[in-house]
Amino acid sequence: MHDVELLKGAPPGEVPPARGTPAPARPLRRMARGSETDSRIRQILLDHPRGLTVGEVAGALALGRSAAARRLDALARRGEIELSTYGQTRVFTLPRRVSLASTLSRPPPLVLDLSPHLRVLDVNDPFLAAFGIRREDILGRPLGKTPFARCVGEGLLRALWEGTGGVAGSAEFECLIGDSRHVFMARITPLSPARGGRGVVLSLEDVTGTALHRRRLEGLMDEGTLGLLSSRPGLLEEILERKREEEQMQAIRFSVDRAAVATLWAGRDGRILRVNHAAARLVGYPEEELARLAIPDIDLDHLPGTWESLWEGLRARGATSFESRFRTKSGATLPVEVRASHLEHRDREFALLFVEDITRRKEGEMAIRRSEETLRTFLDANPDPSFLTDTEGRVLLANRAGSELLGKEGDGVIGTSIFDAMPEKAEAARQAFRGVLSTRRPGTFAEEISGRYLHTLLSPLLDPAGEVGRVAIFARDFTDRKRVEDALRHANERLNLLTTVTRHDVLNDLAALSMYLALPEVQAGERPGSGLPDKLASLIQSLRRKMEFTRDYADLGMKMPAWEDVAGAVLRGVAGMDTGPLRIDLDLGSLEVYADPLLDRVITNLVDNTLRHGEHATFIRFRAHPEGDACVFSVEDDGAGIAPGMKEAIFRPGYGRHTGLGLFLVREILGITGMSIRETGEPGSGARFEIRIPAGGFRMSDGSGGMYGDTGVRA
């Protein structure tokens, strides 16, 4: 019963203050005393319509200040009295109820009608009576030249001028009328008269009583404040510091709320504590709804399992930044950059997150990446080495062929000096480079570099000031052309040599034949002596072989040299030959050589040499291995071998038991593309022919995906 009575009249969910002492044995009597006290409070406030403080009510009731405050708070909660706060002073009044009679008897406002230039157009009688002014002394005159001008201060005048500009306003001012000082509340209302122009209406209300009461309350508040300050030294500075902090915090909160950068505050558990307007717009949530979520609810890259590690890292470092993906309310994915800071305030930790939408940046990066890929594809399609360098010759950009020329891969070529690729030609290259810088005109440079023959164009790129800022370098690889030219030149030299040798041998055979034909018995038509027919037959056979050799040699240098698969050439060379029990062993891997198409004939002649002179040979083996920057291609058997004194002679034309031209032809064919051959076998153990292939004239796999020898890409 007691609890029910105590709760009666209280707002829902609100419990009246506890008494602090056990309930009396007779609660009804206490309730009666409370009702009597409430009635006395209402009567006191009725007698003081301006309102009273807690201390004033306590004094009038002869109650303690705490007891009076509890009764006043209870009445205020029930809406039976009103509470107004002025700083730290609370003033209680009865609810204002205005009667019809008091409304009708209320004095009319004091009204002044002013033109846009503040000239008095009209004035009502209450205004004239209140200020003791005659109508003729004010009507039609500028406001500043009327008796009312003495009451117009700076604040009222400013409000009037703003009113002529269409801005309504109000101002409080004081004016001495007779011996009394009155306080007026002025309200300025802009008007747009039909005659044109913009005037104002000045309405005045005498608020002297209200102002005096307010000042009395302010005085009471000041007295209480001074008493409190005197009892606690340093309190004023603490209050002022707290006020400054609050003002700064309000300014910061106002600025952050309206900042263009999305800002979120999150606790250690990842729950969002506060957001600004931009954050709500970014993810499409209302601010209230977004503030009920957690970071993992919207961050696709920091789900609940990863938020803790992010928090610990942020706490350790103090600040961090990262890219992530936010999910908007509509379900769209938004790329963002997050700059996070760990903060502590009043023993509370939280993360401050600044979030930026980087959709356009990502689109731009993607466009740049596609453009770079297109440019890279375009540059790499050029088989000639191409570079962009600074004025010191350091590489800023290179295509694939350029990287390979400098022995680098990918971006490893960036920063490399182009002169590193040509140490033996570096000074000549620098001289050409300096010439381009000084003349600001294109230049050329042609040299053999690392086994490649390059014709290089250097083109200066000028900056807006007309100075050389970059140099574009295009190295045209004409190695194949140079090799073809050299091969043709060697072929012509060998053809000339062949013509000379063959002509000399044929003439010798013809001279011998003529000598035999000039013998007397032949001239007399008699039967030739013993052995003459055989000698004639031998001469004719020799002539036939020489003619056959010239037929083979006529093809020398007639076709362009090309890259030849050596294993394939071996198989083609022995095809159709009767090798009998001779075993052919191949250990060549992927060897390719730059050679005359007659390479097959080289193999045929070397195998034929083993068949003719190897005697007891059972195999012939073809092998190859790198040796320095060159390659050795060997052909060996297990036959009789070649005597030391014959190792060089066997390559001379005419040497041997047959034509003596087979190995001579082998050396000539190989020499077209710079290859050489020698015999290095041991007599009695077998013959061994070593063909040495120069750098740039071969290529073969190293067994691990790399290449030996020539890897240049040429058109």
Residue 173's DSSP bridge partners are 184
Q: What is the pLDDT of residues 348-363, one digit of tens each?
A: 899 999 999 999 999 9
Q: Residue 713's closest CA among 377, 399, 401, 379?
A: 401
Helix (H) or strand (E) segment spanning residue 367: helix 359-380
Secondary structure class of 180 (helix, strand, coil): strand
For residue 208, give every residue at least 6 positions away whose Cβ sits within 8 Å of its Cβ, in sequence order, or none: 181, 182, 183
Residue 442's DSSP bridge partners are none
pLDDT band (50, 70, 90) for residue 226: low
pLDDT band (50, 70, 90) for residue 562: confident
**Average confidence score pLDDT of the chain:** 80
For residue 310, give every residue at least 6 positions away whose Cβ sits within 8 Å of its Cβ, in sequence order, or none: 302
What whole-number percentage of the chain has pLDDT above 90?
25
Strands (E), 426-496: 443-449, 452-462, 468-477
Secondary structure class of 455 (helix, strand, coil): strand
Least confident interval from 145-159, 160-174, 330-344, 554-568: 554-568
CB-side neighbour CA atoms (13 Å) of 574: 21
Predicted confidence at residue 25, as pLDDT, reads 44
Query: In this structure, what are the phi and psi dihedrals at residue 268, rounded to the nearest 5 degrees?
Result: -60, -35
Q: Residue for token digits 């740039």? A: 696
Give the Cα separation of 654 and 647 in Å (integer). Answer: 15
- Please report the sign of the dihedral spanned by the C-alpha atoms of residue 5, residue 8, residue 10, residue 12: positive
Least confident interval from 90-104, 124-138, 210-224: 90-104
Give yes or no for a contact between 561 and 487, defined as CB atoms under 8 angstroms apart. Answer: yes
Q: Is residue 32's pLDDT more than 60?
A: no
The count of other CB atoms within 10 Å of the CB of residue 426 is 15
Give yes or no for a contact between 298 and 326, defined as CB atoms under 8 angstroms apart. Answer: yes
Average pLDDT of the segment spanning 3-20: 38
Predicted confidence at residue 687, as pLDDT, reads 93
Q: Residue 458's closest CA among 435, 442, 447?
A: 442
Residue of higher predicted confidence among 324 and 547:
324
Q: What is the pLDDT of residues 563-614, one digit of tens each?
A: 999 999 999 888 878 888 889 999 988 899 998 888 888 898 899 888 888 8
Average pLDDT of the segment spanning 74-86: 81
In order of start, what are the domains of the chain with their CATH numbers?
2-93 (1.10.10.10), 107-214 (3.30.450.20), 249-357 (3.30.450.20), 364-477 (3.30.450.20), 486-709 (3.30.565.10)
Look up residue 421 and give its DSSP letter. Answer: G
